[in-house]
Structure formats: structure tokens, C-alpha cells
Structure 1
Amino acid sequence: MTQAQPVAVSEDLLSRMDVTGPRYTSYPTADRFVDAFTASQYKQALAQRGEGVGVMTNVAGGGAAPLSVYVHIPFCESVCYYCACNKVITKHHERANEYLDALEAEIALHVGVLGVGQVVSQLHLGGGSPTFLSDAELTRLMESFRRAFRLAPGGEYSIEVDPRTVTPERLAHLANLGFNRLSFGVQDTDTDVQKAVHRVQSWESVVGLVQAARDLHFESINVDLIYGLPKQTRQTFERTIEQISVLQPDRIALYAYAHLPQRFKPQRRIHAADLPAGAEKISMLSHAISGFLGAGYQYIGMDHFAKPGDALAVAKRQGRLHRNFQGYSTQPDCDLIGLGVSAIGRMGATYSQNAKTLPEYYDAVRAGTFPVIKGIALSRDDLVRRAIIMALMCQGRLVYESIEVAHLIDIKSYFARELEQLVPLAESGLIAIEPDGITVTPLGWYFVRAVAMVFDKNLQADQALQRFSRII
């Protein structure tokens, strides 16, 4: 795939496309998981991988394709008011030991089914704040992990970092543990905005940590930003964009704040009157896109920007982009083990989610049971739609023949209604409908979720859309 030139995205188009929709880190999406999917079904899916039944293989080397692993660390010392993550607010760091005991027990359950030494090419620690753990606790976790699995050379080993909880010395420890990618949660550099969301950190500390990470030769440094926060204005956010552009992290994740206080209690501390109006928020996004493209970044899709030389940008140009519960990835599509409270995994043609509370999670693993509380086994129709959605979201191109051969369908008859619904998107210049497939245009990349949503059979009821964030 050749790299398209930057395109202008008008505020008018952004406003017209300002609708809610899934992020498609999976299909079906997590809101479709059911309680009828149990721990025993998850164990069966694991066993089938262990036996080589219905699993993808590593064509070059034989055997099962490498695993991806996500580890959820729920603890934070203080609450960020915008947060919608599964978290436990505590200053009692001794609670981490009990959690690590449980993680080790959950890892042992997986080893009991898969055996020791399954190859892992992608590991991500998220939360919460993984850097809530001390250096010794992080060492313990990684040693437990290495006893159970084998980390592949050249893999992606990343950790989310709260700048308030690390020093250059701690970053050096992370590098020594084998992490090669960092994601700094910055959100906004304006002091008034930081106070409004209860997450105050100095710009000087962020600059120092990013420089330290560069000196330690981390392969990729990401910065998370959020637009639409209380006290933000277009002018204040432009300053944030300028500062981040000068800082030049390898990647930037730019998320829209979704204010849902009825679902997320911490957001009730945010005064609705302090939130920017819809038009102001759209203007922030428009200027952010222009600013980052002007600073030399390439738009990857779904809120993500990367430098041209970053592995994510290279993968997009080469048509090797993939997507899982951690977002866009350069790693091939693979089974994902989710470890820890609320973690989501994918195994074969199933998705699963762990218990969402610590007591329920602890009870399960102490009883020697996988802590899975819900999930879904994909139907034939789900698999076809997943293949289409991921092709659009990752490669920006749907080739009819590849879907027809893999799933034994006639795509023009099977998806006649959906193809008709794509016509307005084509008329808006977001896609090109061709005899042999569909191509997302450079402009369409900014709204690729809207294209994918056409093939989501679960979004026919209007009320379903209220479960999701806005697509821009």
C-alpha cells in the first residue's frame, strides 16, 4: 500500500460524521458477549489450540502461530475523573502482592492446558496503572511470565506508563525487563485542564521522561491525548498539539472524551458546564489532524498517528496492519490471552472476558478455575463479517474474491443490502466501490468506523448505538 498524501478534513464533514459506533477491536463487539459462555468453554478453546485444532499456523516455522498476551493491572493511586477503565483506587501498595499471586495462579491454569513454552510475540501491560507496581513487583511478574512462556525475538513488549509514577531510573528497569515500547498517558498539557480532571503533571517531567526513553533506545514511544475534556478550548488544545509535535513521540493516540456519568462514577465529578460544546470539540479535532499531519505524522486510522519510520506506519504502507483489543498492531492476527481482572481474550473462534471485580476474580483462580464470566462463540456469519470489518479497518481494502474463497459465499448476494448502504459513503468520497471490491479513500480513513459499521448486523437497533463512543 502506498502512502497517500495528507488530505484536508473539513469541520463540516467531521460534524456530519459525528455519530456513535464501536471501535472494532473485535467483532462481534464486547457488548455482545453472553453469560452462557463459561470457563469450561474457554478451557475447551485453549485445549483445541494446544492440540492444533482449528488454529492458525506459523507457515515459516510450522506449529501454532505466536500468542498475544494482555495483562490488566487495575490499581491507581488516585482517580482521573475522565476515566472509564476498570480500576481500583488505592494507596495501599501491599495489595499488589495478592494480585500477583492471583496472576501467577491464572498463568498456571493456562500452562496446565497449553504446556510450558508457548511462543509470545506481543505482550501488553495495561490498566489502571501498571507502573503502580514497584520495580521488584514488575520483576516478579516478568519472571513468572518467562517461566511460563517464551518471548519471541523482535516481538512487541509494551507497557502503559503514568508519568507521575516513573523516573528515568524506573524506565531503565523496564528496559532491562524486556519492554521495548512505552505509552505515556499525557492527555493534555494545560494546567487548568489537568486540575479539572484530577491529573496534574508538569510538562517538564514529560519531556524529561520521553528523552530518557529515547536514550534507553525504546523502539517506540507513544503519547495518549484526549480532546473534549473540561476547561479545554481550541486555543489551549492547539498549544498541547504544538508541544507534542515538538516533542516528536513515535506515535500519538488522540481520543475523544465521552461524557457518560451515568455509567462511570468518576465522571460525575466533572461539571458538564465546563465541557466544550460540540462545535468546539469538532474544531479541536480538525486542528489536531492538521497539526499532526503538518508535523510529519501519518494518519494510521482510528485516532492513531505515527512517524513515517515507525513500525505501525510501515505496516500500514505494506498492508500488514492488524487490530486486536490493544488497538492497531504490526503483529499477525493471532490468539490473545487476557490475564487479570476484566481482561478480554480471543482464542480460536471465541472471545471471553474475565470477572470484573477483584473478589470474583480471586475466588475463581483460588478455586483452580479460569475466571471467565462471559464470552461468545462466533457463528459462520460472525466470522465472515469479522473478516470484512478487519479488512476495511486494517488494510482499507475489501477484495471480494478473498472473502468468497475463504467463506464460500457470493458476496454481492450475501451482502446486497449492505452494499446498497455503502453508496452514500461513496458519494461522500469516503470509499470507492469497484467491480472486485471496496477501497477506503484517504479521506475515508478518518471515518473508517462508519464504513465498517455497515457490515455490523448488531447495529440495526438504534438503541445499540448508545453503548458506544462517537466515531470521531
Structure 2
Amino acid sequence: MSQLLINKYNVQGPRYTSYPTVPYWDMETFSLTQWKNSLKRSFKESNKTEGLSLYLHLPFCESLCTFCGCHKRITKRHEVEAPYIKAVLKEWSLYCNLLEERPKIKELHLGGGTPTFFSPENLNFLISELLKTSDLAENYEFSFEGHPNNTTEDHVQTLFNLGFRRVSFGVQDYNMKVQIAIHRIQPFENVKRVTELARKIGYTSVSHDIIFGLPFQTEAHVLETITKTKTLMPDRIAFYSYAHVPWIKGNGQRGFNEADLPSGEAKRQQYETGKLFLQDAGYVEIGMDHFALPKDALHDAMENKTLHRNFMGYTASKTQTMIGLGVSSISDSWYGFAQNVKSIEAYYNLLNNNILPVFKGHILNDEELVIRKHILNLMCNFETSWKDNTMAFEALPDVLIKLKEFELDGLLQFRSKQINVTEKGKPFIRNICMAFDLLLQRKKPETKLFSMTI
């Protein structure tokens, strides 16, 4: 990759798991009533045909990983599990009472935190109780994130018995110096154990997360990690950039000095070299920073242009409605977003008073709905068009002028009322999406809000 392009485009930018992005949500006019009406509208339109997605945020971890940007509570006290499960089930019951028909679940994902912090018995109770009040959509998919150090055979078997067929294990990097810096000591043998265990039990998709751009990490470290990963051949790999945002996450991301991080150029080289190694092993690049074997459903979704992206990342199937349960979870009705409170104590208090624990959100206007479609098309398919008049918006001519710069740099091609991102342009997909982001342009951040794009 040209160093000139890296210097030109390596700026702060969103990862576009939503549009508008969270810092640009209109919280002054947002209300819980608006959110409820937005959700009911979406649910009525999509529950029978698609079903909905459920994301459960299980925030507890026994130790702090300093690379992590997720919301978590560090504790070794496992008595916190039961009251938290009770609260999540209470929140789900409030949503079920709000909706006018029995929910049909298409996707269910356990994230964190560390979902496998919870005992298999408690996870069994949580999921079983949720399923009592719901139906399952055709070809539903249940998935969970497992920590290789504490995921037991009982965890994997219990969740398999409940219908889980996909699991993701966080690898990050196998080099000991890097692991010490990010406070995640995790031998390859532990990852090998849980990967082989999941396959033996019958999971159809095993995913590994690998991060580049970590403190003290070199290109050789990335290649060592990928070389070991290739011996296990997970079905999917999330190979993504470390998002250094200590101004948001505080001291949790300051277990090292800024000088210990690789430069933008070195970081990009880690990705480009790693990408070549993955492709040589048979993996296909999916969207941004994801890879899958051709036999995996994520690859099929890309080929069929049914790939979808939301707060859970890339998924092989689309649901219009996503409900997030638990502290800090974000829900998406397509027409609006809502995020739960981040304090466990506030979460419990609101639920004890039969109030949905939402503290901020955003209802999209007509312009934002169209731009959201364009950004989703770009992030999933590396193309978008405005041949259909419903995809036009007042500021589109100004956006097209901005996109001309990317065309001159060879990053995209214009066709009749359509743009296609080139292979050279794929690493800059966040920057291309930013040309559509009118909110970002109208109110450029005065302080740091996002990680660097390269």
C-alpha cells in the first residue's frame, strides 16, 4: 500500500456498526416513548417474515484485558451471576409485554465481558427461560464468545444442547511480550483445546479473533499467530485493528505507553502481510477485517449479497429488529437505536421499577435512513447505487464530489449511478463511508471520538 495514501487517509473515523454513529445520536429529542413506538413498528413489519436478533451482554470478567474497548465489570465473585440473570430476564419480559405477538428469534448472541464467566448451569437457566417465551425462526443461529482459558467442556456441551452452533474464541496474539502488555496470558494449547472440543461436540462454525496493531507487536508476531491459527483452520477469522481509544475507555487502555504501539505504516503492513497468509491458506476476505473459508455461511452471504452488519458485527442473515439485553447493550429497530445504562446498579434499579433501562438513543429521519442504506451497502458489498430514486437524497451531489477524490486515487470506480470499491480501495472503506456521513461533516469533532482508520 502506498505510504502517501496511508498518510492521506489515516484519520479518525467510525467503524460504522451503525449510522448515525453513537456520538451523533440526537439525545435531546430522544425519548423512551419514541423508542418503544419505533420498536413496535419494526417488530410488526418483520417478526413474522424474518424474526428478530437478541444480543445478551454478560459484562463480568475475572481480570482486565487492556486492549478491550467493551463495557465490563471486573470481579472474581461469581455470586453476581444469579441477580444479573434475574435482571436480564426481567428486561426481556418487559419487551415481551410491549410487543403484540410472540417473538420469533432468528439470531441470539452472548457477548461480553466474558460469557463463560457464568457457570454452565446459569447459562442453561438463562437461555431456557428466554426460549420459553419465544419461537424459533427457520435456520436460526445461536452463537457465543468463549474465553479459551475458562471455557469448559460443560460450557460447550450445555450451550450446544440449547441450540448453539457457532462459537468465537479471542486469540489476539500468541507472543508472550504482547500478551503481558495487554494482560491476556493465553497459551496456544488452550485455544487448541477449546477449538477441537467445539468441533468434536458438533459446532458447525468456529471463529478466532486476531488483533493487529497491539503494543510491542511486530509483523513477525502476527505471522507467528496466523501460522499457529492455520494448524487449527477455524471457519472464520476476525482480523482487525486494535482501536486505541483511552480517551473513551480510560486507564483500561493505558497498560503501556503510546510509544509501544506500532506506527500507522507498520500496523498496515501487519494487516497486508497477514491477509496474504490467510488467503494463501484458503480464506476469503469478507467485508472489513473478516475472513471465512468458502464452506462457511458468511462466505455464502457475501456471494449472495445478503451479508449484514450491525452492533454484533457481520452476520450471514439480516434481521430488521435487534434487541440488546443487559448493561450497555444497544438495540436497533432500523428506524431507531437505544442503548441501556452502563451501571449495573442503575440497571437493576430501573428494572425493579418496571422501566426499560434505556438511557440514550436516536430516531432516524428520512435522510439518515437513506444514508444508512448506502453505508451498509458499502460495508457489506463494497458498492452502492442510487439508480432507485429512493436511494437519492438532497446532499447526494455534494457526496459525489467528495467521492471523486477517491476515484482519482484508484480506490473506487464510478458507473452509471453506482460506485464500486476497488481492491486497492477496500482498506479505505471507512474513509469512503465517511464521504456519506453528513453528520460527521456538519459537526466535525473537536475532541477525539474515534480510532484511526488505518
What is the alpha-carbon distance in structure 2 between the residues aligned to residue 416 and residue 134 of structure 1?
Answer: 55
Q: 5 Å matches for 1:63-142?
A: 63-115=48-100, 117-142=102-127
Aligned-partner residue type, residue 18 of structure 1:
N
Q: TM-score, normalised by structure 1?
A: 0.91
Deviates more, 1:460-469 or 1:129-138: 460-469
Task: Note the 1:48-447 alignment, pairs <5 A.
Answer: 48-49=41-42, 52=44, 55-56=45-46, 63-115=48-100, 117-264=102-249, 265-402=251-388, 404=389, 406=390, 409=392, 414-447=395-428
- 1:383–1:116 distance in 2 versus 1, CA, 3 Å: closer
Q: 1:18 aligns with which of 1, 4, 10?
A: 10
Deviates more, 1:442-451 or 1:159-168: 442-451
SS of the equivalent of 1:319 reads coil
1:37 equivalent in structure 2: 30
1:379 to 1:315, Cα distance in 2 relative to 1, 3 A: same
What CA distance in whole angstroms lies between the structure 1 residues aligned with 2:18 and 2:370? Answer: 13
Separation in 2 of the partners of 1:35 and 1:358?
24
- Once the two structures are TM-superposed, the CA of residue 228 in structure 1 deviates from its matched residue by 1.6
Q: Note if contact 1:182-1:220 (Cα within 8 Å) is conserved in structure 2.
A: yes
**Paired residue secondary structure (2:246):** coil
Does the 8 A contact of 2:330 with 2:340 survive in 1? yes
Structure 2 residue matching 1:438: 3-state secondary structure: strand
Q: Could you tell me whether the CA contact under 8 Å between 1:36 and 1:374 is conserved in 2?
A: no
Does the aligned pair in 1 maintain the 2:35–2:363 contact within 8 Å? no
Secondary structure of the residue that 1:368 maps to in structure 2?
coil
Cα 1:93/1:426, change in 2 over 3 Å: same
Q: Secondary structure at the match of 2:30?
A: coil
CA contact under 8 A between 2:247 and 2:448: conserved in structure 1?
Answer: no
In the superposition, the TM-score normalised over structure 2's length comes to: 0.94
- What is the rounded CA distance, in whole Å, between the counterparts of 1:12 and 1:103 in structure 2? 49
Which residue does 1:6 correspond to in 2?
A: none
Aligned counterpart, 1:471: 453
Q: Cα offset for 1:355?
A: 0.6
Judge conservation of contact 1:325–1:344 (CA < 8 Å) in 2.
yes
1:183, distance to aligned residue in structure 2 (A): 0.7
How far does the alpha carbon of each residue in 1:108-153 deviate from its partner, in whole angstroms, 9 at most, with x for none? 1011111563111111111100111101110011011101222224
Select between 190-199 and 86-95 the one with higher mean Cα deviation.
Answer: 190-199
RMSD: 1.9
Q: Deviation digits for residues 310-352 of structure 1, max 9, x if unmatched?
A: 1111111111111111111111241110111010011241111
Give yes or no for contact 2:173–2:221 (8 Å, CA) kept in 1: no
Instruction: Using the TM superposition, name which of 337-346 and 214-223 deviates more.
Output: 214-223
1:301 deviation in Å?
Answer: 1.9
Preserved contact between residue 323 and residue 333 of structure 1 (Cα < 8 Å): no
Contact 2:411–2:421 (8 Å) recurs in 1: yes
Segments ≥4 residues shifted beyond 4 Å: 9-16
Structure 1's unaligned 5+ residue stretches are 1-8, 58-62
Structure 1 residue 181 displacement after superposition: 0.7
Q: Aligned partners of 1:375, 1:203: CA distance in 2, in Å?
A: 41
Task: List per-residue Cα deviations over 1:405-438 (Å, max 9, x = no partner).
Answer: x35x4x5x64111101111211222211012311
CA pair 117-464 structure 1, distance change in 2 beyond 3 A:
farther
Q: Are the aligned partners of 1:385 and 1:455 in contact in 2 as well (CA < 8 Å)?
A: yes
Among 46, 50, 68, the residue aligned to 2:39: 46
Unaligned runs of 5+ in 2: none
Which whole-Å CA distance do the structure 2 matches of 1:444 and 1:218 have between them?
35
Contact 1:38–1:372 (CA under 8 A) maintained in structure 2 = no
